[in-house]
Amino acid sequence: MRLLAFPFVLWALYIGQEPLFAWLICLSLVTDILDGWIARRFDLQTDFGARLDSIADMGTYIGAVAGIFVFKAVVFEPYLPSFLVFIGLWVFAHLLALIKFGRFPSLHLYSWKIGGYIQGFFFFTLFAVAFFPSLYYIMIIWGIAAFLEHILLQLMMPEMESNAKGLWWYIKAKGG
């Protein structure tokens, strides 16, 4: 659903339809949670599914961030420096994977999963209710820490792994 919704999210951005955009982004966030739960609950996890989920996540993420710049720019202006660091680390993590491994990352670290829920809740709240600075700071702090863990793991790994748990588990598995 998220992959199919992405062009419509972009279209809603282009024509300036914030209500349609908000519905599509919120629907994408909810179906992301359901997709992950269904895959784990019914043991339907695959490497292909993890890659597809990562691509769908990227589309939802790009749409949500673009929505901030298109529809919430005035609210976000005082928070722009920290938000640009946040986005910069996210972009760097993806570029690093493309350069080093020739594909987008699909590590699915616990820190990213938790961060994804926090970010999803933030985006959902932002577009459906209002902007809450405390929720923004929770999202930014957790996200930056998760992105740094992701980058560090990519630098340590000789090849991309899907569904890695996190730095602690990686070091433990390598005998460290």
State whether residue 142 is helix, strand or coil. Answer: helix
pLDDT tens-digit readout, 51-78? 788 788 889 989 999 999 999 999 999 9
114-122: long-range contacts at Cβ-Cβ below 8 A with a sequence spacing of 24 or more? 114/142, 114/146, 115/139, 115/142, 115/143, 115/146, 116/32, 116/57, 117/33, 118/142, 118/143, 119/61, 119/64, 119/143, 120/29, 120/32, 120/33
Closest CA to 52 of 66, 36, 40: 36
What pTM value is reported for the model? 0.85
Cα distance between residue 5 and residue 60, in whole Å: 9
Number of domains in the chain: 1
Cα distance between residue 12 and residue 68, in whole Å: 13
Cα distance between residue 141 and residue 144, in whole Å: 5
Residue 157 confidence class, pLDDT cut points 50, 70, 90: very high
Cα distance between residue 159 and residue 155, in whole Å: 10
> Which positions ≥6 away from 52 have C-beta within 8 Å?
3
- Which residue reads 């929720």 in tokens? 135
**Average pLDDT of the residues in 136-157:** 97
- Domain encompassing residue 138: 2-173
pLDDT value of residue 176: 65
Residue 21 confidence class, pLDDT cut points 50, 70, 90: very high
